[in-house]
Structure 1
Amino acid sequence: MFRSRRTTVQTPILRGRGRDRHGRGFRSSATGPFLPPLRTRIDTFDMTIASTVDYLRMVWPTELSDVIFEVAPGPASVVPDVGVERYSVDNRERRITFYRLPIQRLSRLHRNDEFHQRMVIESCVFRAVGELLGKDPWDLAPDRFRHF
């Protein structure tokens, strides 16, 4: 029995981010339209830095009014005999830069949960602001820890 071969010319498919793969429809977010977006480690880190800085600015409004706070992925170099810095303080420019990767990855936590990760980030903020102001970090917010 003879079969005829039909040749069809297929047009190239434009493949982009929202393509219709295997006829399943266009891609949506991983959480779907009815759930809030997922929180990432970067978002959590930035929110913790921002909330701690806001708290310290309420306690020390005149001393911290002109201070610039920044977040960077990591320092440009390693300090000899110290290691990798968690933050840097520039007194002349009144600038504090927090390094996200060293704080998150090089901190040795006895319990790796969200609460302890937040405490490590907050302690870096308190130490950096204390270094900038020339005060002990425990003296920056003495009433914050009196409920224990």
Structure 2
Amino acid sequence: MLRRRAPRSASAPVARPSRHGRHGREGRSPVVRPPLPPLETRIDRFELAVGTAAEFLRSAWPELRDVRFEIGDLPPAADGEGIPRWFVSSAEKRIVLYRIPIERLSHLHRTDDLHRRMAIEANVFRAAAEYLDRDPWDLGPDRFHF
């Protein structure tokens, strides 16, 4: 003969051991290791974008072959127009691009890697155009026609 257990009352809570979670299972151990540091940083991506744009400009414009493109963190001071993004010295043949104002003060309509890189390259083109005393669109006319 089968014996049936007496039904438990709904008000009596079920006692679970302390190692079990609310679904009655034991806690799980982590499957993956802690996250690793990124292989490339924002500074590395900024340097790569500036370097490739500078190499393109040097190959297209002989006047820029002896110009040094440098990267600085911040400008020494703000001027009357705001915080400068670059500094151009024709006498020293030098263009300094300031990373933090370019990265932080750029108003992107889409925040992804492509648009960040395009904003950085646009600043390189504008700084080189100021050095050459030309319009930025004159520096790479074939670059934007596909």
- TM-score, normalization: structure 2? 0.73
Is the radius of gyration larger for structure 1 or structure 2?
2
The answer to whether residue 82 in structure 2 is matched with residue 97 in structure 1 is no
Could you say what secondary structure the match of 1:88 adopts?
Answer: strand
Could you say what secondary structure the match of 2:56 adopts?
Answer: helix
| Equivalent in the alignment of 2:48 | 47
| Aligned residues: CA RMSD | 1.4
Q: Distance in 1 between matches of 2:78 and 2:83?
A: 5
Q: Does the CA-based 8 Å contact 2:59-2:65 persist in structure 1?
A: no
| Equivalent in the alignment of 2:68 | 68
Could you say what secondary structure the match of 2:63 adopts?
Answer: coil
| Equivalent in the alignment of 2:36 | 30
- How far off is 1:146 after superposition? 1.4
Q: Distance in 1 between matches of 2:76 and 2:58?
A: 28
Could you say what secondary structure the match of 1:55 adopts?
Answer: helix
Structure 2 unaligned segments of length 5 or more: list them: 1-34
Q: Distance in 2 between matches of 1:30 and 1:116?
A: 26
1:9-63 CA-to-partner distances (Å, cap 9, x unmatched) read: xxxxxxxxxxxxxxxxxxxx936xxxxx611100000000000001111111x21
Could you say what secondary structure the match of 1:128 adopts?
Answer: helix
Q: Distance in 2 between matches of 1:145 and 1:108?
A: 21
Query: 1:1-148 to 2 correspondence within 5 Å?
Result: 30=36, 38-60=39-61, 62-80=62-80, 82-147=81-146
Letter matched to residue 51 of structure 2:
A
Displaced runs of 4 or more, over 3 A: none
Q: Distance in 2 between matches of 1:68 and 1:110?
A: 31
Q: Distance in 2 between matches of 1:58 and 1:65?
A: 7
Q: Distance in 1 between matches of 2:109 and 2:142?
A: 26
| Equivalent in the alignment of 2:28 | none
Structure 1 unaligned segments of length 5 or more: list them: 1-28, 32-36
- TM-score, normalization: structure 1? 0.72
Aligned-residue sequence identity (percent) comes to: 48
Q: Distance in 2 between matches of 1:47 and 1:66?
A: 19
- How far off is 1:65 after superposition? 1.6
1:81-130 CA-to-partner distances (Å, cap 9, x unmatched) read: x1111101111111100000000001111111101100110000000001
